Chain A
């Protein structure tokens, strides 16, 4: 058994727990702008998980799309429509 692998996978598991918290906040948040920001945090953590799962070439595409383009497009949509979610 190698402790190096356990160390790296431990960091990855910790990041996964944080991503679950960010996903919960993004789904349950009433303010849509805050939900988009939580979704971007979740995407950043996913990018880190992809890097730890030995996929740095995915990161080159994933970071501009999921951290840059998705929030930008959805924030533009929120600006044109409405910000508050009705209960």
Chain B
């Protein structure tokens, strides 16, 4: 018996898989370089979303899951730490995603300047024209 939460989670993951397929289609089959860059940003964001979905924790016995930010560190009550570790989502994928977003920004800027250079040399950002003009 599938619960309502698992049903909605399945819809979320299915939509992300469709987004991944659409972005891959854009990267591989669209001839325009700017459209390729747009599809690559969508591809990176979707991969990041998969990492966050892996780290997500379902609610245990009706207790809401919470962000992995421990705010009660001033009080020395170990029970608060116990509750935090039982309800917080996994922080490791979030740290990786934080790094991946910044690296994706750097890669996108590099590709933007490559496209600009291709425009300056060939006067076109279409792959079919650039392939024809060798040398």
B is a partner of A? yes
Chain A residues with CB under 8 Å of chain B are 1-6, 9-10, 12-13, 16-17, 19-20, 23-24, 26-27, 32, 35-36, 39, 42-43, 46, 49-50, 53-58, 61-62, 65-66, 69-70, 73-74, 77-78, 80-82, 85-86
Identify A53's interface contact among B30, B53, B112, CB under 8 A: B53
- Distance of B124 from chain A, by nearest CB (Å): 8
Give bound CA distance, A39 to B89, whole Å: 28
User: Which of B34, B65, B67 has the largest number of chain A CB atoms within 10 A?
Assistant: B34
Q: Is A27 in contact with B22, judged by CB distance below 8 angstroms?
A: yes
Q: Name the A residues within 8 Å of B101 (CB-CB).
A: 58, 61-62, 65-66
Would A9 and B9 be within 8 Å (CB), given that A23-B19, A58-B94 are in contact? yes
Given the known interface contacts A35-B35, A53-B56, the answer about A81 and B23 at a Cβ–Cβ threshold of 8 Å is no
- Please list the 8 inter-chain residue pairs (A to B) with the smallest Cβ-Cβ separation, ordered nearest first: A16-B15, A9-B8, A6-B4, A13-B11, A13-B8, A2-B62, A27-B26, A5-B59
* Residues in chain B near residue A6, CB distance under 8 A: 3-5, 8
Q: Cβ of A26 and Cβ of B89 under 8 Å apart?
A: no
- Chain A residues positioned under 8 Å from B53 (CB to CB): 53
A54 to B94, CA, bound (A): 10
B81: interface (CB < 8 Å): no
A residues in contact with B126, CB < 8 Å: 86
* A61 surroundings in chain B (CB, below 8 A): 98, 101-102
Asked whether, in the complex, the Cβ of B65 is within 8 Å of the Cβ of A54, the reply is yes
- Is the beta-carbon distance between B112 and A50 smaller than 8 angstroms? no
Give every chain B residue within 8 A of A49 (Cβ-Cβ). 12, 49
Task: Give the distance in Å from the alpha carbon of A41 to the alpha carbon of B119 in the complex.
Answer: 27
- In this assembly, does B64 line the interface, its C-beta being within 8 Å of a C-beta of chain A? yes
Known contacts: A54-B65, A61-B102. The answer to whether A81 contacts B15 by CB under 8 A is: no
User: Would A20 and B15 be within 8 Å (CB), given that A6-B3, A43-B45 are in contact?
Assistant: yes
Q: How far does the alpha carbon of A39 sit from the alpha carbon of B44 in the complex, in Å? A: 12
Tell me whether A55 and B38 are in contact (CB under 8 A). Answer: no
Q: What are the residues of chain A within 8 A of B48 when measuring CB–CB?
A: 58
Residue of B38, B59, B105 with most chain A CB atoms under a 10 A cut-off = B38
